[in-house]
Amino acid sequence: MLLLYLFGCQGTTYTTRIRSNEATDQPRLMLTLVFVLVASYLLGSIPFGYLAGRIAGIDIRQAGSGNIGATNVVRVLGKRYGYPVFLLDFFKGLGAVEVAIAFARAARPEWGSPEVYGILAAFGSVIGHSFPPWLKFRGGKGVATSAGALFGLMPLAMLIGVAIWIVVFWLTRYVSLASLVTAITLPLVIAILTRLNEGHAKALFYSSLCIAAVVVWQHRSNLSRLIRGREPRFSRK
């Protein structure tokens, strides 16, 4: 029996079992996993904020904060463009997860849990959004896409995350601070809700840590401005 290790971390191993008399299954499984990761990355890399700017006649990278995310689009172009960009970015993450899970359920059951495919797609879509090849790997900050991906994997945890975001934003009017606090607390929320008592729950926890790290990294300039007291508070057009 051959073991394919997925999301191994701190002594935890997630395995997909392949019968030894079906040697051809191993490369097929590897190709399937690579396909899910690449497809979700490409879906996540669609730069809706940049495209919205082009439709409006500007390069959003040259306006406001220079970011292609929904927050900057709202600040520069208003909610007419910004809200659709947020929804499209959200559905990139959600769509990647849902398609990957549906694909896994249609594949051979011994190739692993559908949730593991969804977790892989979630990570791929967030990386694609944050580092799109079409824009020299300078993308958004991953908040909306992460929200969509995590909603597809664990809706209750994401709804709690939304509540945390709303409270922090209402108290401070800082979008960046609300996003950072939510990203950092979501892995803890997931750990509490699942109690890490299932294999895919542990994989979800570790992947949420990775996604949180990407979001925090993408917000490093905001964090610097927050510390210096120079971060602008949100105001809508």
Domain locations in the chain as residue ranges: 2-228
| % the chain with pLDDT above 90 | 70
- What pLDDT is recorded for position 3? 35
What is the predicted pLDDT for the residue at 105? 84
- What dihedral angle (degrees, nearest 10) is formed by the CA atoms of 23, 26, 32, 34? -150
Query: Which stretches of the chain score pLDDT less than 50?
Result: 1-21
Q: What is the pLDDT of residue 11?
A: 41
Q: Give me the pLDDT at residue 114, please.
A: 85
Using an 8 Å Cβ cutoff, are 83 and 175 in contact? no
How many angstroms separate the CA atoms of 108 and 234, rounded? 48
- Which pLDDT value is given to residue 24? 56
User: What per-residue string of b and e applies to 49-79 under the rule 16 or more CB within 10 Å gives b?
Assistant: bbebbeebeeebbebbbebbbbbbbbbbbee
| Strand bridging mode 2-9 / 12-18 | antiparallel
β-pair partners for 12? 9
